[in-house]
């Protein structure tokens, strides 16, 4: 019993320092992007893996709210001498007593997944831009139109927090809001901390106490999908609750975020889930004359159903009780899921909507010219080419819950852009659609933009310049999509799962495995570019500490590549479809065996690393087939001894720690 207590205590300590390190921005970042052809199951597997690695086993979710507490603790800790984020993307952290100083290694020429983009309206040149990363916080530049914008991380926002939406007050451009928490319609979405507010044009930010831990509406804003500010300064925010009971929906604040009223998704009260009318909020848009549109997923009947609610302009606009569902019928026995909207800036009654179906793909794009009374389906011609092959009308490739967006050209509302994996375009109100971008190549001459489109934002006052937020960072066009340029230099936000350091004294050589971006080689000091060792989703990687000519990189499951020439080249070494998506592993420098997760209840021993055709041996560690390896650690003090931790991907998983010798 005491051993188990010690182990649990050790996990708690490790978890604290994990969040500590995350806060102080001890990140490595990627330089080259390699996006594999992946379906929605693979994307979901990656999210589940991230949850498995970071969630509190007692709570069953990632306690992101602890990040702000950790940040405050750091600021109060007398051992800390200094923490600074120096533009561009150069973070240092120094402690007294230990003499440790952390310095970012980069790389500096690629971004990561960006869902939020705001062009500061007070800058007439369109050069002041803020972007939100789903794991790298909030960033700002004042020279966006330059070939290589200088990005600065906003230090008053937690450095590794998910920023999902940014809005500016039309009555006062100095006031901005940023929502946190990436809320897919699944239990694995990472939680946020609420809504941040800035009153100085985005230079400094503070959490609205009503929306964060301990606030009156803390459960409404665990995941904030959209924040938008009405013409009178009222704030509208769509929320999803981590409790899935009596919270979320569409909320409004008329006092700058101090208090909130739920206007869509009211429940009957009583504190019981059985009494709840549970709505998950998604998009919020305003028509040119002030009609308000909001998309939600209604969970009140037990069958998730996407709806579009409208509140007409006027003295009562936005009030509870003024909202009517205007969504078109999904067909008998069918249900919409996530819905994204776009209102014409030229015609108050013209609205476009794009719909996720129950099969997770894009099933419809529809248009209404009468404010939602009638709808026309304009989907049929959205033929999409993916990697050189025609792939039907679903240009999200079955992951519309993940990448889905719409935008209308400000000067011509017959021109509409729809984002999924790539961007599609219509110039005739949806009668015909053509492909505007391609990430995989092989389809034609369309320009490259990284896959998985999350945001399309026009520069204010322009109908030819817009910004795209994607899984690969920020792209921009000045000719309505004829060409695009990456704006990711110094936007250091993409994370690594694992890293390995050369044993050679003074060497700058490192390997690192990146989420959705392959495994990379760092070879020089400072913030720099990297080269790709192997592509796809990178994971755990290793450098033999006795003979660094031997190195390993990994791919999902138990698949590994090896270099025997110090990283000059890598080739496939061992491949198996068993193991987790980002498979836990560790390498024994003494025996030269690799240990990794395998099938449920088993560990796999592979090697030795000197063999070009290694053998694998299955080691059964437990008889419980519902447990799978979640962590592996070779004992540094006892020869041929390995520690293995087990868990499951279910809520509130049991945790066990076993030793194999």
CA distance 31 to 470: 15
Query: pLDDT grade, residue 655 (50/70/90)?
Result: very low
* pLDDT recorded at residue 444: 87
Q: pTM of the full predicted structure?
A: 0.83
Residue 342: Cβ within 10 Å count: 23
Give long-range contacts, CB 8 A cutoff, 24+ apart: 327-330.
327/353, 328/364, 328/366, 328/368, 328/375, 328/377, 330/305, 330/306, 330/355, 330/357
Position 354 pLDDT exceeds 70: yes
Position 132 pLDDT exceeds 80: yes
Position 510 pLDDT exceeds 60: yes
pLDDT tens digit string along 399-456?
999 999 999 999 999 999 999 999 999 999 999 999 999 998 888 899 999 999 999 9
The CATH number, out of the four listed (3.30.70.3420, 1.25.10.10, 2.130.10.10, 2.40.128.280), of the domain defined by the range 31-63+495-660:
2.130.10.10
Position 661 pLDDT exceeds 90: no
What CA dihedral angle connects 607, 612, 615 and 619, to 10 degrees? Answer: 30
Comparison of pLDDT for 414 and 240, the residue scoring more: 414
* pLDDT recorded at residue 245: 59
* pLDDT recorded at residue 81: 42
* pLDDT recorded at residue 381: 84
* pLDDT recorded at residue 89: 45
pLDDT tens digit string along 588-609?
999 999 999 998 889 999 999 9
* pLDDT recorded at residue 230: 98
CA distance 619 to 652: 26
CA 417 to chain centre: 22
Position 644 pLDDT exceeds 90: yes
Comparison of pLDDT for 188 and 55, the residue scoring more: 55
Query: pLDDT grade, residue 125 (50/70/90)?
Result: very high
* pLDDT recorded at residue 20: 34
Position 504 pLDDT exceeds 60: yes
Comparison of pLDDT for 627 and 552, the residue scoring more: 552
Q: Please, which residues bridge with residue 252 across strands?
A: 236, 261
Q: Compute the average pLDDT of residues 514-540.
A: 88
Residue with tokens 């809520």: 651
Helix (H) / strand (E) containing 43: helix 40-54
* pLDDT recorded at residue 18: 35
* pLDDT recorded at residue 185: 55
Structural domain spans, the chain: 31-63+495-660
Q: Compute the average pLDDT of residues 476-486.
A: 97
Q: Compute the average pLDDT of residues 559-569.
A: 98
Q: Compute the average pLDDT of residues 627-634.
A: 92
* pLDDT recorded at residue 106: 82
* pLDDT recorded at residue 476: 98
Position 176 pLDDT exceeds 90: yes
Position 477 pLDDT exceeds 60: yes
Give long-range contacts, CB 8 A cutoff, 24+ apart: 587-593.
587/542, 587/544, 587/552, 587/634, 588/634, 588/640, 588/642, 589/544, 589/545, 589/546, 589/634, 590/639, 590/640, 591/639, 591/640, 592/544, 592/550
Of these ranges, 14-23, 48-57, 505-514, the one predicted with the greatest mean pLDDT is 505-514
Check whether the bond before 59 is cis (ω within 30° of 0).
no
Comparison of pLDDT for 593 and 160, the residue scoring more: 593
CA distance 274 to 299: 11
Backbone angles phi, psi at 460, to 5 degrees: -55, 130
Position 42 pLDDT exceeds 80: no
Backbone angles phi, psi at 19, to 5 degrees: -65, -35
Position 639 pLDDT exceeds 60: yes
* pLDDT recorded at residue 301: 77
* pLDDT recorded at residue 247: 77
Q: For the sheet containing 518-522, what is the strand order?
A: 496-501, 510-514, 518-522, 531-534
Query: pLDDT grade, residue 102 (50/70/90)?
Result: confident
Q: Compute the average pLDDT of residues 536-561.
A: 95
Residue with tokens 């910004």: 467
Q: Compute the average pLDDT of residues 160-169.
A: 94
Contact 516, 482 (CB under 8 A): no
Position 153 pLDDT exceeds 90: yes
Position 85 pLDDT exceeds 50: no
* pLDDT recorded at residue 517: 78
Average pLDDT across the chain, whole number: 84
Residue with tokens 């939100």: 132
Q: Compute the average pLDDT of residues 204-227.
A: 94
**Exposed / middle / buried, residue 75 (Cβ in 10 Å: 0-12, 13-18, 19+):** exposed
Comparison of pLDDT for 339 and 60, the residue scoring more: 339
Position 507 pLDDT exceeds 70: yes
Position 94 pLDDT exceeds 80: no
Report the percent of the chain where pLDDT is more than 70.
80
152 Cβ partners below 8 Å, 6+ apart?
A: 85, 87, 88, 89, 139, 140, 141
Position 88 pLDDT exceeds 70: no
* pLDDT recorded at residue 599: 87
CA distance 519 to 412: 44
Token output for 66: 């602890």
């Amino acid at each position: 019993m005491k051993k188990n207590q010690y182990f649990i205590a050790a996990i708690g300590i490790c978890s604290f320092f994990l969040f500590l390190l995350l806060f102080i921005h001890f990140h490595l970042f990627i330089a080259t992007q390699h996006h594999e052809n992946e379906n929605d199951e693979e994307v979901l597997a990656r999210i589940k893996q991230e949850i498995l690695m970071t969630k509190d086993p007692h709570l069953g979710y990632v306690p992101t709210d602890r990040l702000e507490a950790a940040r405050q603790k750091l600021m109060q800790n007398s051992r800390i001498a200094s923490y600074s984020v120096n533009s561009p993307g150069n973070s240092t952290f120094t402690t007294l007593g230990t003499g440790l100083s952390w310095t970012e290694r980069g790389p500096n020429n690629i971004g990561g997944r960006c869902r939020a983009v705001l062009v500061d309206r007070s800058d007439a040149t369109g050069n002041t831009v803020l972007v939100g990363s789903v794991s790298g916080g909030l960033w700002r530049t004042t020279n966006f139109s330059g070939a290589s914008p200088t990005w600065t991380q906003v230090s008053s926002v937690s450095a590794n927090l998910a920023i999902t939406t940014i809005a500016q007050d039309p009555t006062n451009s100095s006031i901005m809001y940023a929502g946190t928490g990436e809320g897919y319609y699944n239990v694995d979405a990472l939680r946020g901390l609420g809504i941040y507010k800035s009153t100085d044009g985005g230079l400094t930010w503070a959490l609205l106490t009503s929306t964060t831990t301990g606030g009156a509406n803390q459960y409404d804003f665990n995941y904030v999908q959209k924040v938008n500010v009405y013409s009178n300064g009222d704030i509208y925010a769509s929320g999803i609750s981590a409790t899935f009971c009596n919270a979320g929906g569409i909320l409004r604040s008329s006092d700058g975020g101090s208090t909130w009223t739920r206007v869509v998704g009211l429940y009957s009260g009583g504190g019981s889930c059985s009494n709840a009318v549970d709505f998950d909020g998604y998009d919020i848009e305003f028509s040119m004359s002030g009609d308000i549109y909001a998309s939600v997923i209604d969970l009140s009947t037990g069958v998730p159903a996407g709806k579009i609610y409208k509140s007409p302009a006027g003295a009562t606009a936005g009030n509870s009780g003024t909202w009517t569902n205007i969504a078109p019928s999904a067909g008998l026995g069918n249900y919409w899921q996530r819905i994204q909207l776009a209102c014409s800036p030229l015609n108050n009654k013209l609205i476009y909507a794009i719909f996720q179906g129950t099969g997770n793909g894009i099933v419809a794009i529809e248009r209404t010219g009468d404010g939602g009374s009638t709808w026309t389906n304009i989907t049929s011609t959205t033929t999409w080419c993916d990697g050189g092959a025609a792939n039907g009308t679903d240009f999200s490739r079955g992951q519309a819950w993940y990448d889905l967006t719409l935008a209308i050209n400000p000067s011509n509302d017959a021109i509409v852009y729809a984002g999924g994996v790539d961007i599609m375009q219509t110039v005739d109100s949806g009668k015909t659609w053509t492909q505007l971008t391609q990430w995989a190549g092989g389809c034609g001459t369309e320009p490259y933009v990284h896959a998985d489109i999350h945001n399309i934002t026009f520069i204010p006052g322009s109908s030819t310049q817009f910004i795209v937020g994607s899984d690969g960072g920020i792209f921009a066009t000045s000719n309505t999509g004829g060409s695009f340029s990456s704006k990711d230099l110094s936007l250091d936000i993409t994370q690594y799962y694992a890293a390995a350091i050369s044993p050679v004294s003074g060497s700058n050589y490192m390997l690192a495995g990146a989420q959705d971006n392959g495994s990379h080689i760092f070879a020089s000091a400072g913030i720099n570019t990297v080269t790709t060792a192997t592509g796809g989703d990178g994971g755990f990687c290793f450098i033999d500490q006795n003979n660094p000519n031997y190195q390993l990189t990994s791919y999902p499951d138990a698949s590994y590549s090896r270099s025997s020439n110090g990283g000059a080249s890598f080739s496939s070494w061992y491949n198996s479809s068993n193991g987790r998506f980002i498979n836990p592993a560790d390498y024994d420098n003494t025996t030269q065996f690799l240990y990794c997760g395998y099938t449920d209840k088993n560990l796999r021993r592979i090697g030795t690393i000197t063999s070009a055709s290694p053998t694998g041996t299955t080691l059964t560690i437990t008889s419980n087939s519902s447990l799978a390896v979640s962590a592996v650690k070779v004992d540094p003090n006892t020869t041929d001894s390995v520690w293995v931790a087990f868990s499951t991907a279910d809520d509130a998983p049991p945790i066990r720690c076993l030793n194999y010798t």
